[in-house]
Structure 1
Amino acid sequence: MDSHYDQVMKARESAQAGTRLYFAYSTILDRAAFEEWRSQHSYDFFQLPEGKLAEALEVDLVYDFPSRWWGGRVAGLADAPGRSVFGRLFEIPGKDWPIIQHKEGFVTGMCVERPVRVRLEGQAGQLVEATAFTTSPRRASTEGPVSPRFIEALVRGAESAGLPAAYVERLRRGE
């Protein structure tokens, strides 16, 4: 049986050219943690671009994935009229998309891809459609506590990504 790395490298070889717009809102924004993950999984050749500050519209965080690794529930996205989630919008080369899928838990079935409408900061009303990752409905549960360690990582990532201070405070409160 192929390792996750082998699966990703095979997918990467067969990936189409072009780019994908990726909306990141979670722990991938913690650059130090991402660099460590990248090294642990032999993806040292991959560089996550800087990305642009962005806001996904009509969605909100929902702590619906129980994680043994995090010691509690972690966040996904849910449809939520009038709400929004801040993050960064990245343009990822098609050949590197399988690496993002691996990081987000798509490869292991923890997460699924979902489209989101994203407004770029400083670009008066410009909306784009991007792909985000959220909890697989098969794995979703709101039982048990939210992971304090995950909240700390989420806040660290939001701060290092330059997300708005009021939004960082909302994350700190677990909202």
Structure 2
Amino acid sequence: MESTRSPPRSTFLYFAYGSNLLKERLQLKNPSATVHCVAKLEDYRLVFGNHQGRASERWHGGVATIEHSPGDEVWGVVWRLSVSDLESLDSQENVTLGAYRPVELTVVADGDDLSCRTYIMNSCVYAPPSPQYLKVMVMGAEQNGLPPEYQARLRSVKTNEYEGPLPVMAELERARRAHSAPPPR
């Protein structure tokens, strides 16, 4: 007798709209991530904030989240990841600490609807991002060819002007250099 159950999925789609727009940032902890496409989330807007008003220790400022907003849109990257990276992605998004919750949302890519996992901050208190956090988002938007007007909108976000060191930036720079280095002979 044939089974009518479908086989378990080995991958899932993830819609990134914040620092995970940048390939090297996402792949630090989620090596299976590959670009699936660029997509638009309709009736949401991008905002920056801190979970319960506590600034991100990693980024020293507000971080991206989304909130329902009829008529607005958020552009991002749909990544395909192995299910084996799901726990790591949840950890990166501080799900166990309660900062973000995973949700399934529908995004539009080339006229097609895609169901994707993404994350929404709990108890968000609005706060500007650090210049470094915004730089990572802008680099990811450029890297993946998000619409030019959306990239301009990201560049216009006011930051908190934090100038101190961020260890994550050094880690990202090492990863970017490793990706751009010519292969060994």
* Structure exhibiting the larger radius of gyration computed from Cα positions: 2
Give the Cα separation in 2 of the matches to 1:34 and 1:23.
12
From the superposition, tell whether residues 161 and 104 of structure 1 become closer, same or farther in structure 2 (CA, over 3 Å).
farther
Displacement after TM superposition at 1:47 (Å): 2.1
2:141 to 158, 164, 168: 158
Give the Cα separation in 1 of the matches to 2:128 and 2:78.
29
Give the Cα separation in 1 of the matches to 2:88 and 2:36.
16
Contact 1:57/1:116 (8 A) holds in 2: no
Which position in structure 1 is the counterpart of 2:116?
A: 130
- The secondary structure found in structure 2 opposite 1:87 is strand
Contact 2:15/2:76 (8 A) holds in 1: yes
Superposition TM-score, scaled by structure 1 size: 0.74
Pair 1:100-2:85 in alignment:
no
Contact 1:17/1:95 (8 A) holds in 2: no
Displacement after TM superposition at 1:148 (Å): 2.0
- 1:29 partner letter: L
From the superposition, tell whether residues 172 and 141 of structure 1 become closer, same or farther in structure 2 (CA, over 3 Å).
same
Runs in 1 of length 4+ with deviation above 6 angstroms?
none
- The secondary structure found in structure 2 opposite 1:63 is strand
From the superposition, tell whether residues 34 and 54 of structure 1 become closer, same or farther in structure 2 (CA, over 3 Å).
same
Displacement after TM superposition at 1:109 (Å): 2.5
- The secondary structure found in structure 1 opposite 2:62 is strand
Which position in structure 2 is the counterpart of 1:63?
A: 48
Which position in structure 1 is the counterpart of 2:125?
A: 141
Pair 1:34-2:26 in alignment:
yes
Gapped regions of structure 1 (runs ≥ 5)? 1-15
Displacement after TM superposition at 1:102 (Å): 2.0
Which position in structure 1 is the counterpart of 2:157?
A: 174
Displacement after TM superposition at 1:118 (Å): 0.4
Superposed, which structure 2 residues align to 1:106-117 within 5 Å?
Answer: 106-117=95-106
CA-to-aligned-CA distance 1:60-89 (integer Å, 9 cap, x gap): 111122313212111101001111111111
- The secondary structure found in structure 2 opposite 1:174 is coil
Pair 1:25-2:25 in alignment:
no
Identity %: 26
- 1:133 partner letter: Y
Pair 1:51-2:40 in alignment:
no
Displacement after TM superposition at 1:171 (Å): 0.6
**Aligned pairs, number:** 147
Superposition TM-score, scaled by structure 2 size: 0.70
Contact 1:60/1:83 (8 A) holds in 2: yes
Contact 1:30/1:153 (8 A) holds in 2: yes
